[in-house]
Amino acid sequence: MPVKPRSASDSFAGPFALGTLSAADGPAFPALVDRDSQVLDLRAALDDQALTMRALLEQWPTVLPLLRDLAAEEGLPRRPLADFRVLAPVEPRQIFQSGANYRQHVIDLHVAHRDPSDGRSEEEARAEAAEIMDRRAADDLPYMFIGLPSSISGPNDDVTLPAWAAKPDWELELAAVIARPAYQVSPQEALDYVAGYTIANDLTDRATVFRRDMPQIGTDWLRSKNAPGFTPLGPWIVPAESIGDTGDLQLTLKLNGEVMQDESTKDMIFDVARMVAYASQSARLLPGDLVLTGSPAGNGMHWGRLLRDGDVMDASISGLGAQRTRCVAEGK
């Protein structure tokens, strides 16, 4: 059974957030959650019993003013959030994932993954990684790859650690949720295509990131990142207007109560607008799609402590709430 989530609203910014909920044995539905942890079923409020979160996002420019009015309107039928299960807030068609986008994180990984035969000191390895990051920033070259929607799980669901995953690791990330189709947009206009933000924990099996059988192939993101449930998402989509500037949000991940990641988005090499714009140069972004923006320093490889059966991760980002997930070994 999933671990008990933390308190209801968990301090999301603004007057309301959006989520996908379900009652016992009931269907999933899009909901508006207010500051008092009261739930408004948007199917009834918007008179559309077939409404999903993705369909809501497809109408974002026109529906956002209605959501503001609904959040402020008294007398509408609401129920306590505690009556419902909180699911992943959206089912994306595409997940765009950013790699190597936090300076200190990349330096740590560069050191952790270096060849054992490398005779240089740790300081020399860190200096090399820092130089590479400076060059990437100067050349304006983000790095992105594709994730699978089947890896998404809820913010309080158990995460199954596959038997083949020898080094499962955590990677807390800020995720932008796309509001309308975006293709070849500029960084200056990219945020106009973002409905809001949510929390993602992009779990990675470090043992299978690189193809040892054919090093020239490089990374194997399919195997290392896309096991079922390897992307706990949510709890909420908080409208972009409630977050404002994403340049200084604090990302914090605790493992069994001990702080492992605690870093600001200020350490990003490329900001949210640049990542959304970059993804849109090659692919058409669709409503409900996710753009994950990278993870800060403090993963398991840095600490020399990977995920194990029974571990509990508490993850939070400023203004977006918090998620709590427990790791369960496959077969248990």
Averaged pLDDT score across all residues of the chain: 92
Pair type for strands 152-153 and 231-232: parallel
- The answer to whether residues 89 and 19 touch, using CB atoms and an 8 Å cutoff, is yes
Give the HSE-up count for residue 163: Cα atoms under 13 Å, Cβ half-sphere: 3
pLDDT at site 118:
73
Pair type for strands 231-232 and 258-264: unpaired
Q: Which of the 8 DSSP states describes residue 227? A: S
- The candidate with the shortest Cα–Cα distance to 321, out of 213, 223, 243, 214, is 243
For the segment 184-192, the average pLDDT, to the nearest whole number, is 98
Neighbours of 58 (CB within 10 A): 16
Q: Which of the 8 DSSP states describes residue 332? A: -
H or E element, residue 280: helix 272-282
pLDDT at site 103:
84
Rounded-to-integer distance, Cα 26 and Cα 39, Å: 15
Kindly state the tokens that stand for 157: 């669901």
- Of 5-19, 151-165, 267-281, 294-308, the range with the lowest mean pLDDT is 5-19
pLDDT at site 183:
98
DSSP 107-141: HHHHHHTS-TT--S-HHHHHHHHHHHHHHHHHHT-
pLDDT at site 3:
54
**Where do the domains of the chain lie, and which CATH numbers do they carry?**
16-87 (no CATH), 95-103+142-329 (3.90.850.10)
For residue 9, pLDDT over 50 is answered with no
Q: Looking at the whole model, is its pTM more than 0.85?
A: yes
Neighbours of 121 (CB within 10 A): 9
Rounded-to-integer distance, Cα 12 and Cα 34, Å: 9
Sign of CA dihedral 96, 323, 250, 304: negative
Measure CA 141 to chain center: 21
Phi, psi angle pair for 307, to nearest 5°: -70, 145
Kindly state the tokens that stand for 250: 């604090």
For the segment 181-191, the average pLDDT, to the nearest whole number, is 98
* Cis peptide bond N-terminal to 235, omega within 30: yes
- Residue, of 174 and 138, whose pLDDT is higher: 174
Per-residue confidence band for 117, with pLDDT thresholds at 50, 70 and 90: confident
Q: Which residues share a beta bridge with 168? A: 205
Residue percentage of the chain with pLDDT more than 90? 77
What stretches of the chain adopt beta strand conformation (E)? 16-22, 29-34, 38-41, 79-80, 85-87, 95-98, 144-147, 152-153, 159-161, 168-169, 172-178, 194-201, 204-205, 231-232, 238-239, 250-255, 258-264, 290-292, 312-317, 321-329
Rounded-to-integer distance, Cα 260 and Cα 94, Å: 29
pLDDT digits (tens, 9 = 90+) for 24-76: 878 999 999 999 999 999 999 999 999 999 999 999 999 999 999 999 999 89
pLDDT at site 10:
54
Per-residue confidence band for 293, with pLDDT thresholds at 50, 70 and 90: very high
